[in-house]
A = this chain, B = another copy of it.
């Protein structure tokens, strides 16, 4: 995904949420504040670099808030902003859609021609 300036809110949203990590991070941040290292432990397959990049992207989108505490060793907290928390149920709805439509998606039923709702 390139940085394409679009005025379409759906495109903008997808630009931020696309990829494996954004929704996963949303998920782990639901419970509350997490540190960088905690998020790494939460899902061990994301690389150090990519986690930092993804978190920055979410921060710039206003979904995640970054709080750096002064002093060493470094300590940085991440949590969801208000908009970020509002986003969570929408993501959950997508997951629910996937689950509840599984049979229909796999069996690929005749799908009512024009507008005749034949089922479901």
Which residues of A63-86 have CB atoms within 8 Å of chain B's CB atoms?
63, 65, 67-69, 77, 79-83, 86
Residue A23 contacts which of B11, B77, B109, B119 (CB distance < 8 angstroms)? Answer: B11
Residue A14 contacts which of B18, B99, B106 (CB distance < 8 angstroms)? Answer: B18
Residue A18 contacts which of B8, B19, B96, B115 (CB distance < 8 angstroms)? Answer: B19
Do residues B97 and A86 form an inter-chain contact, with CB atoms below 8 A?
A: yes
Q: In the complex, how many residues of chain A place their beta carbon closer than 8 angstroms to a beta carbon of chain B?
A: 60
Please report the C-alpha to C-alpha distance between residue A59 and residue B23 in the assembled complex, in whole angstroms: 23
Quick one: closest B residue to A92, CB to CB? B10
Residue A19 contacts which of B1, B24, B68, B114 (CB distance < 8 angstroms)? Answer: B1
Please report the C-alpha to C-alpha distance between residue A83 and residue B90 in the assembled complex, in whole angstroms: 17
Q: Footprint of B on A, CB under 8 Å?
A: 1, 4, 8-15, 17-20, 22-24, 27, 32-33, 61-63, 65, 67-69, 77, 79-83, 86-87, 90-99, 101, 104-106, 108-109, 111-115, 117-120
